Amino acid sequence: MELSDISKQLLNAKREKNITFTDIARQLGRDEVWVAALFYGQATCSDDEECRKLSHILSINFSAEQIHQLKHSSYKGLLIPSFPPTDPLLYRFHEILLQFGVPMKEIIHEKFGDGIMSAVDFTVKIDKDETVKEAPRVNINMSGKFLPYKRW
């Protein structure tokens, strides 16, 4: 995975301050997944004020060029260089799609009609469920706007 210089700087500052994405998200008023996406160049800050908040949280003095990078869209989806991914956790998402993708698609079509789920108007929540002591559960809630296919 090839990271940009700004991503490396953000991740190093996070590590040096020994804070989590959740900690940063609370201070920014954002979600932890969105903050992680920002750090990896897959999301952008909304304005200079958000960049200043991030600068304060991480104790980094961003240059004008770095602020520009944080506020402007990068090429998304370039972090995973091969498909299927070789990282075991990322591969499991691929495996889930292989096994359950078509059934999930069909159920979405039954409930909503012919269309897609947006990855632009989209949120993800990740929670840890420890009700089963010997095997904690990862709960992932994906919520995307339904977009029907246009007929013309």
Residue 15: predicted pLDDT? 97
* pLDDT number for residue 51: 94
Domain ranges in the chain with CATH number 3.30.1160.10: 88-148
pLDDT value of position 32: 94
pLDDT (0 to 100) of residue 95: 94
One-character DSSP codes across 12-66: HHHHHHT--HHHHHHHHTS-HHHHHHHHTTSS--SSHHHHHHHHHHHT----HHH
- Tell me the pLDDT tens digit for each residue of 81-121: 888 988 899 999 999 999 989 899 999 999 999 999 999 99
Amino acid 94: pLDDT: 93
Enzyme catalytic residues: 92, 95, 118
- Alpha carbon 47 to chain centroid distance? 19
Mean pLDDT by 10 residues, the chain (152 residues): 90 96 96 94 92 96 93 83 88 92 92 94 94 92 95 84
Residue from 137, 139, 135 nearest 125 by CA: 139
Q: Extract the tokens encoding 74.
A: 């990068």
CATH class of 5-71: mainly alpha
d(CA 152, CA 138): 42
What secondary structure letter does DSSP report for 7? H
Q: Residue 8 has what pLDDT?
A: 94
Given a contact cutoff of 8 angstroms between Cβ atoms, the answer to whether 38 and 45 are in contact is yes
pLDDT value, residue 75? 79
Hey, how many other C-beta atoms are within 10 angstroms of the C-beta on 52?
Answer: 13
pLDDT (0 to 100) of residue 78: 81
Cβ-based neighbours of 93, under 8 Å, separated by 6 or more: 85
**Tokens matching residue 45:** 């800050």
- Looking at the chain, the domain(s) classified CATH 1.10.260.40 span 5-71
Name the superfamily (CATH) of residues 88-148. Cyanate lyase, C-terminal domain (3.30.1160.10)
Determine the pLDDT at residue 81: 82
- Which pLDDT score is estimated for 102? 86
